[in-house]
Amino acid sequence: MDTLLTNKRILVAGGGGFIGGHLVKHLSLKKNFLRVVDIKPIKYWFQFFDNSENISLDLKDYNDCIKMTKNVDYVFNMACNMGGMGFIENNKAECMISVLINTNLLRACIENKVKKYFFSSSACVYNTSKQEKTFIKGLKEEDAYPAQPEDGYGWEKLFSERMCRHFYEDYNLETRIARYHNVYGPFGTFDGGREKAPAAICRKIAEAKINNLPNIDIWGDGEQTRSFLYIDDCIEGTLRLFNSNFREPMNIGSDEQVSINQMADIIQAHAGIKLNRNYQLDKPKGVRGRSSDNTLSKKTLDWSYNISLNDGLKNIYDWIYKMLLSEESSKEKFIKSSIE
């Protein structure tokens, strides 16, 4: 992939997170100066690279945004307070507060004459009335209006998209906006309450296999549908969009729509295990159906996803299974040493 980003000075906000970490990994191979910022203490970052300037800082503070955008060419804003459906349904105010990150970074970019700004938006901006059935048609970019996004997180993303647009119109700051559709892959959250469906189901199936359990829990009836994008495809789409001349929001997603039950079937096949499912109808489920229409990205960027859901799920399942086995081994060693 030719990113055209070589020997640049780049700030990656939220670089200690899942997508941000993979972006930093790619950019660090291109002889760029990278300033990587995340609110989490560095020891909790998902990925860490010694050849970057790594800083733990809260970018909701305008003064810190001024410091971090000084002497950089480009800003990638991957920072926000978010997680899977269980988190965003129960933390709407916390999700909304992330608007301060985007607001203050944009203001700081004007002050420090940053050349280009990227904002990571979400498919949660789409009108929920168009997502009430399973296996819907892919959502086109114009389907975000009239506005009726998911409450909390979706509104924050949609509002921040508009801010990017107006900062270009009023201040001539070049902005790029990607609407991500359920990005997944290794080196991300798979437990603790912020994990998304692919990682959560991989973890449940892996735990069942390791502990010889007969059942797994599924939120809802399992018939709700989504499309999921593997992280490597996400990074390529992101960089192609960033290097393009397209300023409007664009889907970066997959149109390979599946139900949660179908996804669980794929993961179980990789695990070589058959499990019963306990459907938890009282858990957050989100919209009934969602998928990405990639017509615009194919036409404008000559981009679409390359990694099938089958292959991507195998990769993340194998990674999570290995991580869980490592945790089990550490517990056994601790217990053994305590007894001795």
204/213 Cα distance (integer angstroms): 10
Q: Measured over all CA atoms, what is the biggest interatomic distance in the chain, rounded to whole angstroms?
A: 69
User: Minimal CA–CA distance to 286: which of 156, 162, 160, 196?
Assistant: 196
126/307 Cα distance (integer angstroms): 24
Tokens 């998911």 belong to residue: 150
Question: Is there a catalytic annotation at residue 153?
Answer: yes
What is the end-to-end Cα distance of the chain in Å, rounded? 53
Q: Return the DSSP state at 77.
A: E
**Cα separation values, 45 from 34, 38, 154, Å:** 16, 8, 25
Name the helix (H) or strand (E) containing 250: strand 250-252
Phi/psi at 60 (5° precision) = -75, -15
Say whether 268 sits in a helix, a strand or coil: helix
Say whether 118 sits in a helix, a strand or coil: strand
Catalytic hit among 74, 117, 126, 153: 153
- Kindly report the CA angle at 60 between 55 and 62, in degrees rounded to 5? 90
| 121 touches 102 (CB < 8 A) | no
Which residues fall within 8 angstroms of residue 180, CB to CB, at 6 or more apart?
Answer: 19, 120, 121, 122, 123, 229, 234, 252, 253
Say whether 240 sits in a helix, a strand or coil: helix
Say whether 235 sits in a helix, a strand or coil: helix
Peptide bond just before 146 cis, omega within 30 deg: yes
Q: Which residues are catalytic?
A: 153
